Amino acid sequence: MSAFRLSERARAALRSHGWHESRHVDIGNVVALLESKDIDVSPAAATFLREFYGLNLDLPHGGLSAVTFNIHEEMTFLVEGELARLEGLIGQRLCPLGLGGRFLIFMTPSAEMVFLHDEWLLYLRARTIHDGFEVICTPEFKEYETITLSDNQKPPAFGDAG
């Protein structure tokens, strides 16, 4: 059984991409990589990664068209100091989860999901894993907070992206 409450729509989308309720992935190498970069892997993030790490979702009619829960790919888009900058804006430590639909996806220790636009235009904050999967799977879902970033909140390379 999944450790997280998910809608039937999200479960169906996940099942169609190889997920099952008892899925358990060895994330030892992922945790070692994150810890080597001084990134905390909270208990909630570890539980999430054990269940979903490695899944590639193709969702042409979803809220995001495609998502991959692959930290190695996500880390290629983060320049040193950017995660700390985002954590300062969020007010909590963040653990990378993956990427998709022009967003980098993170989790807070309290199991909120944060979706950062890849050009630092804005971020979305979903209160729960359930809501995060609704952002991913359901284009009609709007129960999340959208925060538009000002130029002084963005890393210098993105200061004029908006």
pLDDT in tens, 14-62: 999 999 989 999 999 999 999 999 999 999 999 999 999 999 999 999 9
Range of the domain at 64: 8-158
Give the single-character DSSP code of 156.
Answer: G
Query: Exposed e or buried b for every residue in 43-57, given b needs 16+ CB within 10 A?
Result: ebbbbbbbbbbbbeb
Give the single-character DSSP code of 148.
Answer: E
In a domain, 143, yes or no: yes
In a domain, 151, yes or no: yes
Examine the pLDDT at 133 and tell me if it is beyond 70: yes
pLDDT per residue as tens digits for the range 85-116: 999 999 999 999 999 999 999 999 999 999 99
**Contact between 128 and 143 (Cβ < 8 Å):** no
The two tokens of residue 108 are 């807070």
In a domain, 2, yes or no: no
In a domain, 1, yes or no: no
State the Cα–Cα distance between residues 9 and 25, nearest whole angstrom: 23
Domains: count for the chain: 1
For residues 118-139, average pLDDT = 96
